[in-house]
Amino acid sequence: MTQVPQNLKYTDDHEWVRAEADGSVVVGITDHAQHALGELVYVELPDAGRKVARGDAMAVVESTKAASDVYAPLAGEVIEGNPALASQPELVNTDPYGEGWLLRLRPDDAAALAGLKDSAAYSQLLAAEG
């Protein structure tokens, strides 16, 4: 059973977003996405300071099966990538909503977060995808 934490927002591309107290957001890929990819062997993250538009390919996760782009869920500026993933990309598999986060982003428009899916809507998307 795929985990879908209720305190997060989600995209149709299987990214999750968590709002932080300082106005930034933490971004990762969902449990569903990491299961679909299989064992991750490499993660390429954007440099701090990079500006991204919503929908931009901003990171790459590579597994033994395939490489996949990770898309920006919101427009903004990358604050930092998760440094642990350089030596431990498997954290995305073992703890996708915790230690396996990908990056922190400062959104251009904090209100845009409301336009993402809540856990119920994301669960419906997963059910529709079968």
Q: What is the side-by-side strand order in the sheet with 40-44?
A: 40-44, 57-63, 67-71
Tens of each residue's pLDDT in the chain, 130 residues: 689 999 999 999 999 999 999 999 999 999 999 999 999 999 999 999 999 999 999 999 999 988 999 999 999 999 999 999 999 999 999 999 999 999 999 999 989 999 999 999 999 999 998 7
Q: Is residue 11 part of a domain?
A: no
Q: Which helix (H) or strand (E) holds 93?
A: helix 91-94
Q: Is residue 8 part of a domain?
A: no
Residue matched to tokens 């498997």: 90
Q: Is residue 84 part of a domain?
A: yes
Q: Is residue 35 part of a domain?
A: yes
Range of the domain at 52: 26-129
Number of domains comprising the chain: 1
Q: Is residue 110 part of a domain?
A: yes
Q: Is residue 57 part of a domain?
A: yes
Rounded Cα distance between 91 and 111, Å, is 30
Q: Is residue 14 part of a domain?
A: no
Say which CATH number the domain at 86 has. Answer: 2.40.50.100
pLDDT of 130: 78
